[in-house]
Every structure is written in C-alpha cells, then in structure tokens.
C-alpha cells in the first residue's frame, strides 16, 4: 500500500532553562540556629550558634553569630561540660572531652539576654569501623561541551552490624595534598628594572603541602534498611580535580559517624533540600524540624540540630598515576610556598 514516503524537516532549540529569579521574599525571622556535633573522639568539638536571616538577602555571607552565650553539654549521668567561645558564635569543647558510648547528651544554651534552650537527648550508639576507602576516577559532562568535570569519587567499605538499626552520617575532613611547583621556571616580574620577564630559576621549592577548607561541604547519610548486616560500599563524596589537587598525592579522610534516627531524618531532609533541581519530580519543600526547644516559649522555633555521634575514620592516599582521568595540570612557575596556606613540612599524620 505504501508507495512513497515523503519526510520531515525540523528546527529545534534548547528547550528548558534554569535562571536566577528575583522574587520578593518577606524579611526573615531571626531564629536561633544550632549547628554542630560532638563525638566519642577527642575534641575539640565545635557548636556554632547563629541567627537565621532573610533568604537571598543583600547581606549575603554575613552570618549573625550569637556571642556571649553559655553553652554546655550534659550527659545522662549528670556530668556537665562547658564550651568556650573561641570566635564569635563558635563554642568548642575542652580538648580532653570525648563523648562516651551508650550515654545520652543534651546541649544546653543560655543566651546573654537570659533565654534558655535545650536539645532533646541524643544517644551515642556504636558505629561500624571503615574497612577501607577506595576511589574511582570519574569524568562528568558539564554545561560546556568541550570541558568535562574530572575528579575522584571516594567510596567507603564497611560491614554493617545485623543486630541493630544503624544510621550513618559521613563527612570528610579537610583534604591535604602535595603542591607541585616549578621554581626553575620562575621569571622576573615585567617591572623588573634590569631584566623584565627574564628567566631566574629558583632553587626552592618544588613541593609543599596544603590543607584545604571549603565553604560548601558535602555530606552523605544512609540508614541500614537497605544493607542491614551486609558488607557494603557507599559513595561518600566527589573531589573535583582543579588542576592542582591531583598533581602528585592527595590525602582524603572520611569520618563515618553513627547517629540517632532523629538526626538521620533531619540530615536526610537537609540533603533533599540541597539536591533540589526544580524539576517535575522534586518533593515539595519540607519543614526541617530539629531537636532544639526553647524552655521559655514552647512555640518558639529553633533551627538546626545538635548531633551526638560515635565516629570511625579512615584516610586514603590518591596517587596521580592511579587515576584514569585527570585535569590539565596548573603550572606554578615559582616557589610552591607562594600558594596561600602551603607549607614545606608535611601536615600531621601525612604518611603516604
């Protein structure tokens, strides 16, 4: 029947797009926010007290620390440990403080104006040790067709105990790496009176060490519903290759924490919010309830969560030669010590 078929012509443009959108948001409330955790490891452990602010306000980046508060943790045996304020709004436990397995802890706060707050008790449950940390070299597509993201995914291997419900919270400690520079390529500055841009090789130094801190920190949470009693693997984080990190050796350290069911629920909601994409399949925004309450006014909303956890950690050294994908290295034609924070002596615990 079909004798002839004539076909099609089409034009098409990229369809969907995401862009920043300006909306009027009412001025936000200034609610007490608690952020921090204590573990069964020796401290110092940090609790940060801040006030919330209007979302998207022009004073972005300005956090409002709460100063001169009295902050203490109290265990279920009645022992109270006071924290000291080291920076505005940052309160730390004494160096010799470590939470004890099996005890419950509450955080108690008294503001300088006199309002009092407390957390619900958080019990320290044991956590499985990390058997090993492995890594995979990954290449991910980006908005730019010509440039992929390259980096390393860290995977924690551990055996979940089968006789209990476990809730896991993973964070990474600040990464450390060898900064590779080329002092022999150093050239004089263009303003040099005698030999502008002339070669002037330096003898020192080709390798330094850097410990890096970043503002945005990923974290991962899981409950053992999916792997109770199994030896399992969980991808923890992705470290992007920025051209410097993986020129030689990179040390990553994973903290594996055992947390309460309430903390897990809280962190899961935080994670859900961090992963929102605006798509058809997003869950509607959830009210993230924490575990802090006001002792003066039960209706007052307190944000954040006081986490008490047991912790296990493990580090891994990532060598460049083991990576399948690497970014184009950034050349530093100078002494490596010009990189802010770089030192000649290896950081504590550096043992590749």
Partner 1 sequence: MKKILLLSFLFTFFFNGWIIAQQRNVVGRDIGELKNLKISGRITDQITGEALVGATVTVREINKTEITNSNGTFNLVLDRAEYILEFRYVGYETVIYPMIAVGEGRINLTMIQEDFTLDDVVIFGRDPEQNIRSTDMGAISISMNTLKELPPFLGEVDIIRSVATLPGVSQVGEASSGLNVRGGGADQNLIMFAGAPVYNPSHLFGLFTAFNPDVVNDFTLYKAIIPARFGGRGSSILDIGPKSGSLTRWGGDIMAGTVSGKASVNGPIVKDYLSAQVSFRGSYINWLLNSLNNPDLRTSQANFNDVNAILYGEINENHNLTYSFYRSYDDFALASDTTISWTNQSQSIRYSGRFGEKANLDIIGFQTLYDFTIFNQSGINNFDLKSGITDTGLRVNFTYDIGVKNRISIGGDTKQLTIQPGELIPDAGSESGVLPQKVQNEYGRESGVYFQHEFELGEKFGFTYGVRYDYYQYLGPRTVREYAENLPINSGNVIGERTYGDGEVIQTYDGFGPRVSMRYSLDSKTSIKAGYNKMYQFIHLISNTATIAPTDVWKLSDQFIRPQIVDQYSLGIYKNFKGNIFETSVEVYYKDIQNVVEYKDGARLLLQNNLETEIIPGVGQAYGVEVYAKKNLGRTTGWVSYTYSRALRRVITPFEEEIINDGEWFPANFDKPHDFTMIGNYKISTLTSFSATFSYSTGRPVTFPEAKFDFAGNSLAYFRNRNLQRIPDFHRLDVSLNFKLQGKGKFFDGDWTFAIMNVYGRKNPFSIFFADQAGSPPQAYRLAILGVPLPTLSYSLKF
- Indicate whether 151 belongs to the interface with partner 1 (CB under 8 A): no
Q: Which member of 45, 48, 247, 314 binds partner 1 (CB under 8 A)? A: 48
Q: Which member of 161, 233, 248, 294 binds partner 1 (CB under 8 A)? A: 233
Q: Which member of 95, 284, 324, 348 binds partner 1 (CB under 8 A)? A: 284
Closest CA to 331 of 203, 180, 202, 197: 180
Q: Which member of 120, 219, 325, 350 binds partner 1 (CB under 8 A)? A: 219
Maximum C-alpha span of the chain: 91
CA distance 195 to 47: 54
Query: Smallest gap, in angstroms, from Cβ of residue 289 to partner 1?
Result: 7
Q: CB nearer to partner 1: give 229 or 352.
A: 229
Cis amide linkage into residue 28, ω under 30° from 0 = no
Residue with tokens 């290295």: 329
Closest CA to 258 of 341, 195, 164, 338: 164
- Indicate whether 324 belongs to the interface with partner 1 (CB under 8 A): no
Query: Smallest gap, in angstroms, from Cβ of residue 288 to partner 1?
Result: 7
- Indicate whether 234 belongs to the interface with partner 1 (CB under 8 A): yes
Q: CB nearer to partner 1: give 13 or 191.
A: 13
Q: Which residues in the 88-147 window bind partner 1 by CB under 8 A? A: 136, 140-143, 145
Q: CB nearer to partner 1: give 62 or 194.
A: 62
Q: Which residues in the 52-91 window bind partner 1 by CB under 8 A? A: 52-57, 60-61, 63
- Indicate whether 278 belongs to the interface with partner 1 (CB under 8 A): yes
Q: CB nearer to partner 1: give 23 or 348.
A: 23
Q: CB nearer to partner 1: give 50 or 315.
A: 50
CA distance 165 to 167: 7
Q: Which member of 22, 95, 194, 351 binds partner 1 (CB under 8 A)? A: 22
- Indicate whether 9 belongs to the interface with partner 1 (CB under 8 A): yes
- CB-based contact 319:168 (threshold 8 Å): no
Query: Smallest gap, in angstroms, from Cβ of residue 118 to partner 1?
Result: 18
CA distance 88 to 67: 6
- CB-based contact 224:232 (threshold 8 Å): no
Record the tokens describing residue 257, joined without a space. Answer: 């924490």
Residue with tokens 């029947």: 1
Q: Which member of 69, 92, 178, 269 binds partner 1 (CB under 8 A)? A: 269
Contacts of 273 by beta carbon, 8 Å cutoff, 6+ apart: 285, 286, 288
CA distance 21 to 286: 21
Residue with tokens 């955790």: 37
Query: How far does CA 255 lie from the centroid of its chain?
Result: 11
Q: CB nearer to partner 1: give 208 or 314.
A: 314
């Amino acid at each position: 029947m079909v004798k002839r078929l004539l076909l099609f012509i089409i034009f098409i443009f990229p369809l969907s797009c995401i862009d920043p959108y300006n909306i009027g948001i009412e001025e936000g409330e200034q609610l007490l926010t608690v952020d921090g955790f204590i573990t069964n490891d020796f401290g110092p452990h940090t609790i940060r007290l801040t006030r919330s602010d209007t979302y998207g306000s022009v004073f972005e980046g300005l956090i409002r620390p709460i100063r001169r508060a009295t902050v203490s943790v109290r265990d279920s045996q009645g022992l109270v440990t006071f924290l000291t304020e080291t920076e505005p709004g940052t309160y730390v436990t004494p160096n010799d403080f470590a939470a004890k397995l099996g005890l419950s802890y509450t955080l108690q706060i008294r503001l300088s104006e006199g309002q009092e707050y407390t957390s619900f008790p958080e019990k320290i449950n044991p956590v499985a040790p990390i058997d090993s940390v492995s890594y995979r070299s990954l290449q991910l597509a980006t908005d730019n067709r010509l440039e992929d993201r390259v980096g390393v995914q860290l995977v924690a291997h551990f055996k979940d105990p089968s006789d209990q419900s476990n809730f896991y919270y993973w964070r990474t400690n600040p990464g450390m790496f060898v900064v590779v520079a080329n002092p022999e390529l150093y050239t004089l500055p263009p303003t040099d009176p005698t030999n502008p841009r002339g070669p002037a090789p330096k003898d020192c130094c080709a390798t330094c060490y850097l410990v890096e801190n970043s503002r945005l920190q990923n974290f991962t949470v899981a409950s053992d519903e999916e792997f109770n009693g199994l030896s399992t693997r969980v991808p923890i984080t992705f470290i992007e290759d920025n051209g410097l990190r993986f020129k030689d050796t990179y040390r990553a350290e994973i903290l594996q924490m055992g947390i309460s069911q309430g903390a897990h629920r809280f962190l899961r909601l935080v994670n859900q919010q961090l992963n929102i994409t605006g798509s058809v399949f997003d869950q509607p925004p959830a009210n993230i309830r924490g575990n802090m309450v006001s002792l003066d006014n039960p209706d007052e909303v307190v944000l954040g969560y006081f986490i008490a956890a047991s912790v296990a950690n493990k580090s891994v050294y990532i060598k460049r030669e083991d990576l399948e994908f690497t970014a184009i290295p950034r050349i530093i034609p100078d002494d490596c010590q010009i990189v802010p924070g770089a030192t000649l002596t290896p950081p504590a615990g550096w043992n590749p």
